[in-house]
Amino acid sequence: MTKEIENTFLCYGNVDAPVKVEVFLNLACPYCATFFQAADEILTPYIDNGQVQYVIKHFDKPREMLIYGTLANAFLDYKDPVRVYELMKELFANQSNWSEADSNAIKKMLTEQYGLKEEPDNIETSLKITAEAIKRNVKMVPTVFINDKEFQFPVELDAAQLKNEVVKILN
């Protein structure tokens, strides 16, 4: 039995699911984009049938190449996790088009193309996720936990292994 999951702002699936998948990611990270797409394809059927709870934790990691992911995260409305998931899907899919723009261009894209505004509550959310990342010794994104077992994607876990880990727990 796993412990209760902390910081479930973006939580998908059954809270009582036997498999808990948590990921610390950043919207500007190319490896996170790859993980997100793989997880979307692999986990969705398990989420839909109540076997997986999937928790996404946007880590506003203080690293230059991730700063625009942090900027994009400031515009996500965590009160609407379904829309946030769809926005993340689109932002990851189009990452190469925006992640190297300047901050004003990114803000303009988020407000004009997606109708978003800066969400003041996200500062507190970000601080809570950062504190958890420090506590759990998360050093890089994406870091994936499956029932508390830690993996670095893609070094220790790839798409096929993600599915294998889920299936192994369910069998």
The span from the CA of 84 to the CA of 165, in Å, is 26
State the pLDDT at residue 3: 66
The span from the CA of 171 to the CA of 166, in Å, is 9
Q: Is residue 4 part of a domain?
A: no
Phi and psi of 115, rounded to 5°? 70, 30
2 has a pLDDT exceeding 80? no
Q: Is residue 3 part of a domain?
A: no
CATH of the domain at 91: 3.40.30.10
Q: Is residue 113 part of a domain?
A: yes
Give me 65's structure tokens.
Answer: 């190449």
Q: Is residue 115 part of a domain?
A: yes
| Full domain range(s) for residue 142 | 10-166
The span from the CA of 165 to the CA of 2, in Å, is 15
pLDDT in tens, 88-138: 999 999 999 999 899 999 999 999 999 999 999 999 999 999 999 999 999
Is residue 10 within 8 Å of 58, Cβ to Cβ? yes
The domain total for the chain is 1
pLDDT in tens, 126-159: 999 999 999 999 999 999 999 999 999 888 999 9
Indicate the length of the chain as a whole number: 171
Model-level pTM? 0.95
Q: Is residue 73 part of a domain?
A: yes
